């Protein structure tokens, strides 16, 4: 099969990928974008988005991503279905294999593959996705003002989510399977000092219940011991706080990653350790993980790619 040549290849189709495609197209780079296994990214599983600028009345996640996709297409971005299965960044032009066979040769590559939230693996998590189950307190916490929610996890991520939700919700339960918090001392102290956060140690989640939306969680305390106790906890929202897994596995042989697997950006730009390869969005952002910050990084990555080509 004959290779396809392009000035700019974009891998991923969330806010970062589509925004990169908009800017790269307007710069005349004629980018090719592969949308991956979940076109539109994580936002396609979110019901209401109220914090993305330009939508004063809010917008659904799928509608927002469809708008971004249409804008990228309007400027001529070549949007394709496909999953990257192999890369060779030792060569120039850079080589990327899609769907196990199609070979792309690119002068620049923008990685915008995002990060996937870690879940407990319960069937109910998918059943109630967007209907009470969330992996982003900053995104969805507003909908639970004066209500009762639970956060699962015992590390810094869970504590940060619980603290944020405590400013909005009437009551926050922190469900911790161990008898201690793994979080840093400062985070532990903040959680313990917050009146409307209650920590449920030695507790596992068995499932969720509710007619159409989450109404409560099935919990078990002291699992596997003679103190084992099963009970139901009425809640309105169930938040995952056990971290995110960056989608970087295919790039590991070439791209420098941090200790958690996120792409490390060595300088002030979006360029990785490999010349001509740039990263944008959650795949390189373990801190903010917001649609608007991802879009901003997509803009930066496209501008960086354009300048790289002009200097080449």
Q: Is 90 a catalytic residue?
A: no
Question: Catalytic one among 8, 66, 67, 136?
Answer: 136
Cβ neighbourhood burial of 249 (10 Å; 0-12, 13-18, 19+) = exposed
228: helix, strand or coil: coil
Angstrom distance (rounded) from CA 230 to CA 218: 7
Q: Is 139 a catalytic residue?
A: yes
Question: Catalytic one among 139, 236, 285, 304?
Answer: 139
Give the other-Cβ count within 10 Å of 229's Cβ: 12
Q: What separation in angstroms does the CA of 154 have from each of 181, 239, 282?
A: 5, 13, 22
271: helix, strand or coil: strand
Question: Catalytic one among 124, 140, 285, 304?
Answer: 140
Angstrom distance (rounded) from CA 149 to CA 240: 11
- Number of alpha helices (DSSP H) and beta strands (DSSP E) in the chain: 7, 19
Residue 25 and residue 1 in contact, taking contact as beta carbons nearer than 8 Å: no
Give the other-Cβ count within 10 Å of 166's Cβ: 22
Cβ neighbourhood burial of 195 (10 Å; 0-12, 13-18, 19+) = exposed
Which residues does residue 216 pair with via DSSP β-bridges, in sequence order?
A: 209, 234
Q: Is 299 a catalytic residue?
A: no
Q: What separation in angstroms does the CA of 263 have from each of 136, 156, 257, 279?
A: 21, 20, 4, 7
Angle between helix 61-74 and helix 15-26 axes, rounded to 10 deg: 20
Residue 114 and residue 42 in contact, taking contact as beta carbons nearer than 8 Å: yes
291 conformational bin, left if phi > 0, alpha if psi -120 to 50, beta if neither: alpha
**Catalytic residue ranges:** 136, 139-140
């Amino acid at each position: 099969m004959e290779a396809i040549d392009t000035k700019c290849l974009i891998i991923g189709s969330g806010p970062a990928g589509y925004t990169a495609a908009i800017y790269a197209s307007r710069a005349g780079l004629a980018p090719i974008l592969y949308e991956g296994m979940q076109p539109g990214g994580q936002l396609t599983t979110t019901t209401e988005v109220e914090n993305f600028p330009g939508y004063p009345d809010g917008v659904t996640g799928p509608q927002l991503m469809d708008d971004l996709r249409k804008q990228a297409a309007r400027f001529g971005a070549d949007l394709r279905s496909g999953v990257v299965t192999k890369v060779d960044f030792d060569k120039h032009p850079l080589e990327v294999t899609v769907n196990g066979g199609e070979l792309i040769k690119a002068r620049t590559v923008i990685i915008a593959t995002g990060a996937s939230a870690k879940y407990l693996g319960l069937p109910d998590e998918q059943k109630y996705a967007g209907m009470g189950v969330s992996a982003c307190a900053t995104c969805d916490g507003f909908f639970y003002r004066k209500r009762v929610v639970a956060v699962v996890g015992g590390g810094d991520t869970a504590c940060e989510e619980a603290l944020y939700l405590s400013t909005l919700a009437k009551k926050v339960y922190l469900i911790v399977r161990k008898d201690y918090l793994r979080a840093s001392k400062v985070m532990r102290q903040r959680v313990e000092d917050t009146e409307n956060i209650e920590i449920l140690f030695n507790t596992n989640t068995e499932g969720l219940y509710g007619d159409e939306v989450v109404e409560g969680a099935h919990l078990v305390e002291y699992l596997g011991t003679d103190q084992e106790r099963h009970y139901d906890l009425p809640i309105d929202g169930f938040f995952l706080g056990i971290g995110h897994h960056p989608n970087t596995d295919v790039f590991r042989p070439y791209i420098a990653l941090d200790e958690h697997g996120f792409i490390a950006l060595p300088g002030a730009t979006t360029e990785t350790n490999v010349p001509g390869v740039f990263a944008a969005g959650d795949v390189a952002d373990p801190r903010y993980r917001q649609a608007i910050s991802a879009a901003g990084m997509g803009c930066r990555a496209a501008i960086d790619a354009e300048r790289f080509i002009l200097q080449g």
